Amino acid sequence: MAILSKKDFDTPPNKKASSGPYAGLTRYEIVQKKIDDKRDFGLGSNGSTKIVGISFDPKTKLFTYRKKIGKKEEITVPIIGAKGNICKDEDFGGGGGAGGGTLQTALAESAQCMWNAAVLAHPQKKFGDFTKTMLKTAWNQCEHGSGSFDLAYDGLDESWMKSGFMIAKELVRLKYINKTHVFHRGSTTMKKIYDQRKSAYRNSDMTVVSEDKWNPGDIWAIKKNFDVSKLDNSNIGAYNKALSGAFKDKTVIGISLKLVKRNIRTKVLNETDQRPDDLSYNRGLVKGEKTRTTNFFSNKAGIIVFDGQGGGTMSIRTSAEFDSHKIEIVLKTARGGGCGWGIAVDIVKGTTGKELPSNSSLRQRANDILKGKDSEIKKMWNMSKTLGETYKLAEFKTQLMAQDAGWIHSKLGALELLYELETTTKAKKDKIVNQIYNYAGSELDTSSIYVKVYE
C-alpha cells in the first residue's frame, strides 16, 4: 500500500476507485463515505496507526481526525500527500492483502456462500459462465448477517470471486456441501452455534474460549430446517461430540476460508481427540529467512521455524505501534491463525517456569533504550548474539538508536520469546511450539471440528 497522493485523487480529474467496497466512487467521495460509515482510516504506508475521521471539506481538501489510541485531540491535515499521511487502503482501492479489511472480509465470506449455492445449482458451468442474475439468485438463497449482493458483486476484487468459485467446486467434489444445505455467514443461526458454546463451557465450569479458537468457521453449511438448538451443549465435551456427529452426517459443517489462487488444499481439524504434538523447534530468526538480503534491522519481527506438520514458520511482531505482540502461523496467501502475547506468556511460564515480560514492560524498556539506557541496550544486544548476530556493541547501538520506539518495542518482544526458546531444553522448546501452534490453529483440546480450505 502507499500514501494517498494527488494522482490518486485527480489524475484524471475526479478519479474513481476501480476496486474495493467503494468502487465507482471518487476518492473524495470515499473519504466522506468512510466518515459516514464510521470506518477507520490508517496512517502511513501500511495503515497500522488507526484513526477516526471527523470531517472533510471538499473545497479546501482538509481532513480532520483523531487517533483511536492515545490523545483524543482533533488534527486537521490536507487529505493529499505526505502531510496528510493517509494510507491508500483497500477502501480506496489499495492493496488489502489476503486478510483484507473487515468489510472486505465479510463480503468475501458472504460471496463464498453465494458461490457454494451457485455451483451446486449449475455444476457444469465455468467461472465466466455465471451471470449477475444467476449469482444474485444464489446470494438470496443464503443467510447473510450483513453486506449486500451489489456491494460484493461490484466491490470485491476478482481474485476473491475466482477463489470463491474454485473453493465451491472443491467443496462439492469432496462432498462437504450439497443441495440440502443452506449457507450461513453471520446469520442468527450461525450466531446461535457460537452462543451455545458459551453455555457449554460454563456448564463445564471452564473459561469460555473465544469464538475463533473454539471454531474458526467463517461460514457454515447447515441442512435446511435443522434446528441447531437441538445440539447437546450440556458440557463442552458433549457439544463438540454432537457437532462432530453433525459434521460427519453432513448436517452442520463449519468451513474456515483462506484466499486460494491455484492449488487448493482441505483439511478436517479436531476430528478426533488427538491434537498435533509432533512439531519441533528448528531455529529462531531475527533477520528473516532471506539472510543474503536482510539483516537484524531490516524488519521489526522475529521468526520461529518449526518442523512437523509439513514444516513452516511463525511470525512474532506487533501490528501497530506499541500493540501487544502476536505470533502468527504464516501461510502462502494468508495468515494461518494467531496467538496473543498473553497466551504465549502463559504457555512459556507453564512450560519453563519463566515469565516473559508484559507488554507494558516492553514499552517501557523500548523507551528506555531510545533514551540511551546502556543496560537495556546491552541486554538486547546479548540476546541478539544468542540468536546468531555478530554486531559489535557500538555498531549495534548506533543502528538501534536510529529506529523509533515502536520498532524497538516490536523487535524486543520477538527477541525475548526467541531467546527463551533458544536457551531452554529441547523438550521444552518443542512443547512451547506445539502449544502455540495448536492455539493459533484453533486446535485446543476443547476446539471443535471444522474443515479448513487454504493454499
What would the pLDDT profile of 25-64 be if each residue is shown by its tens digit?
889 999 999 998 888 898 876 677 789 999 999 999 999 9
CA distance 224 to 183: 9
* pLDDT at residue 20, rounded to an integer: 67
Does the structure show a pLDDT above 60 at 82?
A: yes
Query: Is the pLDDT at 155 greater than 80, yes or no?
Result: no
How far apart are alpha carbons 152 and 109 in whole angstroms? 10
Position 46 scores a pLDDT of: 67
Measured CA to CA, the distance from residue 41 to residue 22 in angstroms comes to: 14
303 pLDDT above the threshold of 60: yes
Segment 215-244, tens digit of pLDDT: 999 999 999 999 999 999 999 999 999 999
Average pLDDT (159-163) is 93
Of residues 111 and 93, more confidence is placed in 111
pLDDT range class, residue 270, cuts 50, 70, 90: very high
| Mean pLDDT of all residues in 17-31 | 81
- Cβ atoms of 418 and 304 within 8 Å: the answer is yes
* Residue 24 pLDDT exceeds 80: no
Confidence of residue 104 (pLDDT cuts 50, 70, 90): confident
pTM recorded for the entire structure: 0.65
> Residue 416 pLDDT more than 80?
yes
403 vs 81, higher pLDDT: 403
Report pLDDT digits (tens) over 354-376: 999 999 999 999 999 999 999 99
**d(Cα 366, Cα 413) in Å, to the nearest integer?**
10
Q: What is the mean pLDDT of residues 380-403?
A: 95
Q: What is the mean pLDDT of residues 444-451?
A: 95
Average pLDDT for 100-121:
86
What pLDDT, on a 0 to 100 scale, did the predictor assign at position 16?
Answer: 81
Spatial separation of the C-alpha atoms in residues 183 and 292, rounded to whole Å: 47
Confidence of residue 99 (pLDDT cuts 50, 70, 90): very low
pLDDT on residue 302? 94
What average pLDDT is seen over the chain? 90
Rounded mean pLDDT, 12-17: 81
pLDDT at res. 97: 35
Q: What pLDDT does 434 receive?
A: 95
pLDDT band at 335 (very low <50, low <70, confident <90, very high): low
Determine contact, residues 398/386, Cβ cutoff 8 Å.
Answer: no
pLDDT at 446 over 70: yes
The per-residue pLDDT for range 172-217, each reduced to its tens digit, is: 999 999 999 999 999 999 999 999 999 999 999 998 989 999 999 9
Report the distance separating Cα 270 and Cα 11, nearest Å.
52
Is the model's pLDDT at 294 over the cut of 70?
Answer: yes
Name the pLDDT band for 148 (thresholds 50, 70, 90): confident
Provide the H-helix boundaries in 75-143. 102-121, 132-140
Please say if the pLDDT value at position 428 is more than 70. Answer: yes
Q: What is the mean pLDDT of residues 250-257?
A: 97
Q: What is the DSSP letter of 21?
A: T
Q: Where are the beta strands (DSSP E) in 178-301?
A: 181-185, 219-223, 252-257, 265-269, 280-285
Tell me: pLDDT of 100 over 50.
no
How far from 411 is each of 230, 283, 375, 403, CA to CA, in Å? 49, 17, 17, 10
Neighbours of 176 (CB within 10 A): 19
For position 57, what pLDDT does the model report?
Answer: 93
pLDDT in the model for residue 295: 87
Mean predicted confidence (pLDDT) in 109-126: 97
Mean pLDDT in residue range 273-288: 90
Banded pLDDT at 309 (limits 50, 70, 90): confident
Residues 6+ apart with CB under 8 A from 71: none
User: How confident is residue 8, by pLDDT bands cut at 50, 70 and 90?
Assistant: confident
Residue 403 pLDDT greater than 70, yes or no: yes
**Beta strands, E only, 118-275:** 143-144, 181-185, 219-223, 252-257, 265-269
Q: Which three cell numbers stand for residue 449?
A: 471440528
